[in-house]
Amino acid sequence: MPAPSLAFLLPLLLTSPNPAEPAPLLCQTGVHHVELPATAPIQPSPACISPGQTTLINFDGELVPGSLALESADRFTQVEPGTSSLKLVPSERLVVGEQLQMTVRFRDTAAPTSATLRLLVHPAHAAPLVDVHRQTRGVESFRQELRALEEKVRQLQEENARLRAESSGPGGLTGLHALDLLDDKNYRARELRTSVKVSPTSALRLGGPMSSFRAAGRIAVKLRLQNPEGAAPWTVQDASLALEPRKGVELKVLEVWPREPILPGRWLSLVVEAEVSGVDAQGPFTLRLWDAEGGRAVIIHGVMLP
């Protein structure tokens, strides 16, 4: 029998079956390359942005000063055009799932003379760097993409090794012991009733006690959510835990359970489990959960770890 992860052994969890996961969103973190053809494309190239996260867009030529046209620019915390770059920091006034169009014009006469991007608002994932090239890409552009792919492969290899280790041992508390996740020093719990704050843009309500748990190299956050009356059913797709004081520090989420629909007016207890190896911090963290379409997110600030 495979060894369960920490999330499955926490008390008071629901035991409903886990349905098939919906398809993931297109947004991914990492360097995003955009190659513009000489003729205008039918659809603008997409690029992901997220509230509170910085996205830097680099262009392969100088821009015409004042040529930036950005939809809903007043709902961005920062919009800073440079000689050949653009820095964007969206605010939480942007709606998750929203699509905004951005256009700039180049100083030179090379084709194309302008660049248009379609900015996709994601609840947690944003491209930190978007490289925009016209017609051709240089050698360094391919090297950057190769490095990003190599890092992704390394992460997948670590994930596969972890899954093999967890599936080869015994189950229950014995399984936790076999994985060195059960010991007196590292198994702790913390009540989060007073520290957390739900963002006003959250699609679901937080109710009842909220707790965090820690084992060796693992943490789990347990919460109870309600889908408002009259809303469509909501099913969690994924989650993120980002450290609030230090930008770019994010825990690796291992599991969100259970992945079943929350019907209108109903409550559901969820557990988010993540790795904390190499992260010397107790919080506060921002917890984000989103559905398959990415349009309805839950954002909770002030999550503390034991």
User: One digit per residue, pLDDT tens: the chain, 306 residues?
Assistant: 444 454 444 443 334 444 433 334 467 667 888 988 877 667 888 999 999 999 999 999 999 999 999 999 999 999 999 999 999 999 999 998 899 999 999 998 777 889 999 999 999 889 999 999 887 555 676 677 788 888 888 887 777 777 676 666 655 545 665 666 655 555 667 777 777 888 888 899 988 778 888 877 788 888 889 999 999 999 999 999 988 877 778 888 988 888 889 999 999 988 888 888 766 677 789 999 998 777 789 999 988 888
Shared fold status for 6-23+152-303 and 38-134: yes
Question: Alpha carbon 44 to chain centroid distance?
Answer: 23
Q: Helix/strand/coil (H, E, C) string of the chain?
A: CCCCCHHHHCCCCCCCCCCCCCCCCCCCCCCEEEEECCCCCCCCEEEEECCCCCEEEEECCCECCCCCEECCHHHEEEEEECCCEEEEEECCCCCCCCEEEEEEEECCCCCCCEEEEEEEECCCCCCCEEEEEECCCCHHHHHHHHHHHHHHHHHHHHHHHHHHHHHCCCCHHHHHHHCCCCCCCCCEEEECCCCCEECCCCCCEECCCCEEEEECCEEEEEEEEECCCCCCCECEEEEEEEECCCCCCEEEEEEEECCCCECCCCEEEEEEEEECCCCCCCCCEEEEEEECCCCCEEEEEEECCC
What pLDDT is attached to residue 73?
95
CATH of domain 6-23+152-303: 2.60.40
What pLDDT is attached to residue 13?
38
* Single pTM value for the model: 0.57
| Cβ atoms 303, 286 nearer than 8 A | yes
The residues spanned by each domain of the chain are 6-23+152-303, 38-134
The CATH class that applies to domain 38-134 reads mainly beta
